[in-house]
C-alpha cells in the first residue's frame, strides 16, 4: 500500500459504522478516529456497560451471536464494519472454532443489514497452513471475509502496545516483582506497533477502494531479549534476564499464571513469537518508536498486573 494510493484525509461524514470492541483496546483507538471524522458508531461487545470516553456518541449493543435476527436489527443501516473480535485462547466454553463461527454469523448479519465493507483486524503471520491454532484461526476468518463478497480491508498487526495493552504491561510487572525473567532461547524478533498507529493504518487503509491486506508494524525491531532488557532499563529494573529452553519457559509461565490467577501467555503465542511471526517483511507503516513511548510511559508501566481473564471473563458480560 503506498500512501499516495490512499485518500489521505477522510471527508466529514455522519455515516453509521459498526466497531466490535469499541470500548477496549484497538477498537477504542479506531472508534476515536471515526468519531473525530463525525461518523456515528455502534459498538458490538460482550460488555456494553464498560466505561468509555465517547459519552453519547457511541451506542452499544450486545454481540447477539446466538440471536442473528437481533444482530441484523442492531446494525441495520451501517456502511462499514470494523471487526476486532477474536479470542486470545480457548477457555471454558470459548474455543477458536466458536470464534471463527461467531465471526461468520457476524458477516452474514452484516450482509443482511446492508453493510458494504468489512475492515478486519487480523494478525501478522496468519496462515491456513499454520500449526498454531491461533494463527490458523485468524487465517480462517480472513478467508471467510475474502469469500464473503464484501469489499474488504484486512490489517495485520504484529504486537500492539499502548497504555491499555496487557502483554507489555505484564512484562514490566514481572520485571518489577521478580529477580529473574526467563525468555525462550533463540534470536527471534519482535516489531511492536503502537495502538494509535494501528488505528491510523486501519482507518486510512479502509478508505482504499480496492480490497487489500496490509501489515501494521512499528519502526523498531528487537530480538525478544533486547525488548525485555529495554523495558527493564526504562522502568529501572535490575532483574536478570535468563534464556531457557522453550518448554521450561512454558512451565514457568504456567506457574506464574497460577500465582496471578490468569493465563499469562499461551503456547501458541510463545511459539508464534519464537517462529518470528511478530515481525513484518513490509516497510513499517507505524511511526511511533517503542523506545520513545517507553520513555514517556515507564512510570506507570507494570505498576499493576493486567489480567486477560479479568478483562474478558470475570467482569460481568451482558449479552
Ligand atoms: N493486542 C495485540 O497485541 C494484537 C496483536 C496482533 C493482532 N491483534 C488482533 O487485533 C484485534 C484486537 O485486539 P485487542 O487486543 O485490541 O482485543 P480486545 O480489545 O481485547 O478485544 C477485541 C474484541 O474481542 C472481544 N473478545 C476478546 N476476548 C474475548 C473472549 N474471550 N470472549 C468474547 N469476546 C472476546 C472483545 O469483547 P468485549 O467488547 O466484550 O470486551 C472485543 O469486542 C484482535 O483480533 C487481535 O487478534 C492484537
pLDDT tens for residues 64-90?
999 999 999 999 999 999 999 999 999
Whole-number Å distance between alpha carbons of 80 and 33:
14
**Using the 8-state DSSP alphabet, how is residue 158 labeled?**
S
pLDDT at 201 over 60: yes
Pocket lining: 21 vs ligand 1, CB cutoff 6 Å = yes
Amino acid 319: pLDDT:
37
| CA 24 – ligand 1 centroid, Å | 8
The CATH number of the domain holding residue 242 is: 3.90.25
Cβ atoms of 157 and 197 within 8 Å: the answer is no
Q: Are residues 272 and 172 in the same domain?
A: yes
Is 283 a domain residue?
Answer: yes
Q: Are residues 44 and 130 in the same domain?
A: yes
Ligand 1 atom at minimum distance from 160 CA: 3
HSE (side-chain half, CA atoms, 13 Å) at 115: 33
The CATH number of the domain holding residue 72 is: 3.40.50.720
Backbone dihedral angles phi then psi of residue 60, each to the nearest 5 degrees: -115, 145
Q: Are residues 211 and 228 in the same domain?
A: no
Q: Are residues 125 and 179 in the same domain?
A: no
Residue 1's nearest CA partner among 175, 183, 206 is 206
Whole-number Å distance between alpha carbons of 258 and 299:
27
Amino acid 314: pLDDT:
77
**Using the 8-state DSSP alphabet, how is residue 132 labeled?**
S
Whole-number Å distance between alpha carbons of 16 and 29:
17
Whole-number Å distance between alpha carbons of 250 and 103:
30
| CA 115 – ligand 1 centroid, Å | 22
Backbone dihedral angles phi then psi of residue 171, each to the nearest 5 degrees: -60, -45
Calculate the alpha carbon distances from 211 to 15, 150, 165, 205, 314 in Å: 20, 9, 29, 9, 38
Q: Are residues 37 and 177 in the same domain?
A: no
Pocket lining: 45 vs ligand 1, CB cutoff 6 Å = yes
Q: Are residues 147 and 291 in the same domain?
A: no
Amino acid 43: pLDDT:
98
| Grid cell for residue 48 | 456494553
Read off the pLDDT of each residue in 89-111 and give the average, rounded to a whole number: 97
With 0-12 CB in 10 A as exposed, 13-18 as middle and 19+ as buried, what is 209?
Answer: exposed
Read off the pLDDT of each residue in 256-267 and give the average, rounded to a whole number: 97
Number of compact structural domains in the chain: 2
Amino acid 6: pLDDT:
36
pLDDT tens for residues 267-312?
999 999 999 999 999 999 999 999 999 999 999 999 999 999 999 9
Amino acid 70: pLDDT:
98
Calculate the alpha carbon distances from 259 to 241, 253, 255 in Å: 20, 10, 6
Cβ atoms of 45 and 311 within 8 Å: the answer is no
Residue nearest to atom 15 of ligand 1 (CA): 25
User: What domain range includes position 197?
Assistant: 14-161+192-216
Read off the pLDDT of each residue in 189-217 and give the average, rounded to a whole number: 97
Amino acid 3: pLDDT:
39
Instruction: List alpha helices for 147-278, DSSP H.
Output: 167-177, 195-205, 224-235, 246-260, 267-274
pLDDT tens for residues 218-260?
999 999 999 999 999 999 999 999 999 999 999 999 999 999 9
Read off the pLDDT of each residue in 168-194 and give the average, rounded to a whole number: 97
Q: Are residues 200 and 247 in the same domain?
A: no
Single pTM value for the model: 0.95
The residues, ordered by sequence, that sit 6+ positions from 292 with a Cβ below 8 Å of its Cβ are: none
pLDDT tens for residues 4-56?
333 334 555 789 999 999 999 999 999 999 999 999 999 999 998 999 999 88
pLDDT at 212 over 60: yes
Q: Are residues 239 and 306 in the same domain?
A: yes
Amino acid 217: pLDDT:
98
152 strand-pairing partners = 118
Q: Are residues 260 and 202 in the same domain?
A: no
Q: Are residues 179 and 203 in the same domain?
A: no
The residues, ordered by sequence, that sit 6+ positions from 311 with a Cβ below 8 Å of its Cβ are: 24, 166
| CA 177 – ligand 1 centroid, Å | 27
Q: Are residues 95 and 118 in the same domain?
A: yes
Q: Are residues 54 and 173 in the same domain?
A: no
Is 134 a domain residue?
Answer: yes
Cβ atoms of 121 and 197 within 8 Å: the answer is no
Is 50 a domain residue?
Answer: yes
| CA 152 – ligand 1 centroid, Å | 19
Is 7 a domain residue?
Answer: no
Average pLDDT of every residue of the chain: 94
Cα-to-chain-centroid distance, residue 50:
18
Pocket lining: 35 vs ligand 1, CB cutoff 6 Å = no
Amino acid at each position: 500500500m503506498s500512501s499516495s494510493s490512499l485518500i489521505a484525509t477522510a471527508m466529514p461524514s455522519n455515516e453509521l459504522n459498526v466497531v466490535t470492541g469499541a470500548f477496549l483496546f484497538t477498537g477504542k483507538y479506531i472508534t476515536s478516529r471515526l468519531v473525530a471524522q463525525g461518523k456515528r458508531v455502534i459498538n458490538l461487545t460482550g460488555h456494553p456497560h464498560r466505561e468509555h470516553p465517547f459519552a453519547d456518541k457511541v451506542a452499544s449493543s450486545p454481540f447477539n451471536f446466538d440471536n442473528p435476527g437481533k444482530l441484523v436489527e442492531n446494525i441495520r443501516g451501517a456502511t462499514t464494519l470494523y471487526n476486532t473480535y477474536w479470542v486470545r485462547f480457548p477457555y471454558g466454553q470459548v474455543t477458536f472454532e466458536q470464534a471463527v463461527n461467531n465471526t461468520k454469523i457476524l458477516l452474514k448479519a452484516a450482509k443482511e443489514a446492508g453493510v458494504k465493507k468489512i475492515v478486519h483486524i487480523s494478525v501478522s503471520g496468519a496462515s491456513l497452513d499454520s500449526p498454531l491454532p491461533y494463527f490458523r484461526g485468524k487465517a480462517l476468518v480472513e478467508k471467510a471475509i475474502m469469500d464473503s463478497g464484501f469489499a474488504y480491508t484486512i490489517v495485520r498487526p504484529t504486537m500492539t502496545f499502548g497504555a491499555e495493552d496487557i502483554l507489555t504491561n505484564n512484562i514490566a510487572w514481572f520485571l518489577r516483582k521478580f529477580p529473574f525473567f526467563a525468555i525462550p532461547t533463540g534470536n527471534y524478533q519482535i516489531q511492536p506497533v503502537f495502538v494509535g498507529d494501528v488505528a491510523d493504518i486501519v482507518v486510512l487503509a479502509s478508505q482504499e477502494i480496492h480490497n487489500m491486506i496490509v501489515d501494521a508494524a512499528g519502526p523498531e525491531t528487537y530480538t525478544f531479549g533486547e525488548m525485555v532488557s529495554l523495558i527493564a532499563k526504562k522502568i529501572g529494573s535490575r532483574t536478570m534476564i535468563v534464556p531457557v529452553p522453550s518448554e521450561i519457559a512454558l512451565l514457568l509461565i504456567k506457574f506464574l499464571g497460577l500465582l496471578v490467577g490468569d493465563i499469562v501467555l499461551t503456547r501458541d503465542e510463545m511459539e508464534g513469537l519464537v517462529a518470528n511471526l511478530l515481525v513484518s517483511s513490509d516497510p513499517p507503516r507505524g511511526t511511533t518508536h517503542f523506545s520513545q513511548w517507553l520513555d514517556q510511559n515507564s512510570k506507570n508501566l507494570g505498576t499493576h498486573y493486567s489480567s486477560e481473564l479479568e478483562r474478558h471473563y470475570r467482569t460481568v458480560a451482558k449479552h
